[in-house]
Every structure is written in structure tokens, then in C-alpha cells.
Structure 1
Amino acid sequence: MLLIRSLAYFLGMLIFAFIVFFIAMMGALLPFNIRYKIISQWAIFNIWWLRITCNITTQVIGEENIPTSTCVIVSNHQSTWETFAFQKIFAQQTWVLKQELLWIPVFGWGLALLRPIIINRGEKLKALKKVIKQGVTRIQEGIFVVIYPEGTRQPYGQLGNYQKGGVAIAKKAGCDICPVCHNAGKLWPKGSFIKYPGTITVVIGKPINITEKSATMLTQEIKDWTEKNQAKLT
């Protein structure tokens, strides 16, 4: 039954992707906020369709902590789920993506319209400089920047090393950092086609002010907060 439900979810997600991205391509020259509103409907649909097909719901704790001004959102990374759900929870945003994702037909083309920060992981120093420079630009343009400091998805219950890219953007842009923690990997495990019914919980912390704190201090503060809240969610 789980396989059938997961397959139904995948097919619906795929069909709606073609519809949304076809519309988006027709409006490729429209302003960013309009393009974002169109393309983000796919993510919003996916979260709704996930509830219908796989009985996975979302609980958000700390929604009142979401900043009204643009900032850097720093979250743990366990699943594909958060890349969809955050588009429903937070305002217009963009992400740091590896360049290979843009090569995926339809999906990659749609991503390219959302002004992501594209990096080549093989050139770490250049990638970091690009993340900081373009991340600051996005913040100044009123676009939230979502950062997964672990760099890649981690197995449920585990936390990888936190890189300083997100903190560097915030310090350069002079904006707050919004820490986020979730347990999506429990129901939608890394690399798994099967999804399990239940409730995914997202915890949004109070904004962290970057004033008079080093990048190392801030990174550790965010990781400590994440570890504390992740322990409560397992």
C-alpha cells in the first residue's frame, strides 16, 4: 500500500510539474515575484498532494518567529520535503544549488527562473565567494536565501558539519539569521521512494542577530540550537 501511495504521489508531482513549468516558460520574461508565485505553486501542490496520497501533514512551531524583513534561513537537510515545504512556510526565496540540477529537463529550467545561486562543488573557493556575493544581492533585492549548511542531505537523526556560507552572507548583508529544524527524514528518508504517513514538525527559532559575533561563533550557535531541537523531534 505504501508503494502504491508513493507512486501516486510521484505521478501527480510529475504531471503538475509539466503544467506549472510550461506556464512558467511562457512567462519567463515576467518580473521575478510573478515568476516565483507561478513556479512555487508546484511546491505548494506537492505538499497538499503529499497529504492526500501519503497522509503526511505538517506542524509548524514558532511561526511567529519568521522575520518580516529578508534574511538568511539556515536549516538542517534530511529530505526533499523541506525544499517544497519552505516555499509554503516562508516568503519568496532562493537557494544555493549545484549546477547539475539545471541540466534536468523541465525541472531544471524552472529552477533557473527563480534566480538560484548556482555553484560548482569542485571549485570550493570560487563557490564560496559566489555564494556570498550573490546571496547578499538576493537579500538586498528582498529575496530570502535558504541555506542548508550541511551541504547535502543527512540520514534521519544525524547532523552533518555546518559550513559558514550562510553566516557569511548574513554578516556581509547585515541581516539576521533564521534558524530552522525539522524531522522530515523520518517520513521521507534520504534517497527513499517510499513515504510513510505521519506528521513532519518544523521548528522555527527566534532570529539570530549577527552583531559582534564571529562567523565561527554564529555557526556553532546555530548548530547547537539545531542539535537541541532535533533531539526533541526524534
Structure 2
Amino acid sequence: MSSGLTRQEQRVLFILIFAIAIGLGIQQCKQRMQASVDVIRINEQSASASNSASVSTSPSHETPTARPLININTASNKDLCLLKGIGPAKASAIIEFREQHGPFRTIDDLDNVSGIGPATIERIRKQITVGDIKPSATPSANAATQTQSLAVFPTPAVERAPAPSPKKININTAGLKELMTLPGVGEKRAQSIIEYRQRNGGFKSIEEIMNIKGVSIRNFESIKDKITITKQ
């Protein structure tokens, strides 16, 4: 039985059906590829969110706080032993020195302590302090009251002779105790001054005192106005 279509019409119909089938196949492939891309994008977004959450919840690294300076005028034996190169014996020597000679005025005064030299001082300089050296005595309430009374009832002014300047210490003749009254000069350094002048026939200038081990420019500046090499 004939289909009623010519051979040419059948060929055109076949080509049309084939083209429709190919078009449907391509459309399905595009949909599958788009779905795969969406899945990959969702997975990437989930991974990124997970990493951000882990970073935000991880413990932060806190900056270590600086260790407070150790006050060599108040520190205990235990605290002094925390310093590098300072054991129980040297810590005891520091405490004994400040009890006998009063508080340290400068860090370099440690050079007067037995067993502690410039190398040890430089090693611990950034870890220690002498604190605030305050006057040992304060005006009493009675003195303040008397001062106020004098302000209310002033007495006639009396001309006074200028106070004599403090006597300078002759580093060529002074004894051990007299030398120890100088700022930063303890028993050890005073003994070094005496030994130096005996060995070299006396000081030719006050600057020559810096030839002594442990006497720095800073030490010299603090005592230069208090010493002399001539008799007064």
C-alpha cells in the first residue's frame, strides 16, 4: 500500500525528524552541563564559607606582654635571681650593698657590688630600674605651720653672707670613706681610685678618673663638680 508521499517528500520528512532529534539532544546536553556548573559553583561557595568560618573561629595570637622592670632598690632575692647571670650569691650581695650604702642612684652603681662587673650590668641593663629616688625626710606639719605664721607676720629682712660652696673632694688625698660620699662611688670603686693614684703617682687631671674600670662618662658627669686634684 502506498503512503501517499513521494520519495522526495519522504526524504525531506526524514531530514526534518532527524534535525528535531538532534536539536532535542543538544538542548538536553546544555541543561545537564548547566546543572553540573551550578553544582560546582554551590560546592565552591560552601567550601569558601567553611574556610571563612574556620579562620574567624581560630584562636587569635595574643601579643606577649612585656615583663615589668625589676627595681634593684626594692627587689627580693628571688626577684633578682630572675635576671640573667644573677644567682643567689650575687642577689644577696646586691641586697647587702643597698642596705649598707643606701639605694642605688644609677644602674651603673651596681659595679660597686662584689662579683658584678660592666659585662653583667650591660646584660641586664634593659631589665632593671632604680625607681624614683625620693628624699628620706619631708617637712613636718609643725614646720609648715611655722612657715605660715612667718608669712603672716614677716620679720625684718636680714642680709646674710652667701653660703660657702661645698668643699670638693681631692681625689689625690681623700680616704676610702670620703671617696664613698661621691655619687656612684662605693667601696670597690673608691679602693680602685686609691690604688690607681698610688700606682700612677696621683691624678694629673680630674678627667683621668675615667681611666679607672667602671667609671664611665656618665659617672664622671655626675661627680666632676664635686672633685678636685688641688688642695683647697
Whether these two folds match at TM > 0.5 is no
TM range (shorter): under 0.3
TM-score, length basis structure 1: 0.22
Higher helix proportion (structure 1 or 2): 2
Larger Rg computed on CA atoms: 2
TM-score, length basis structure 2: 0.22
Q: Which structure exhibits the higher relative contact order, with contacts defined as CA atoms closer than 8 Å and separated by 6 or more residues?
A: 1
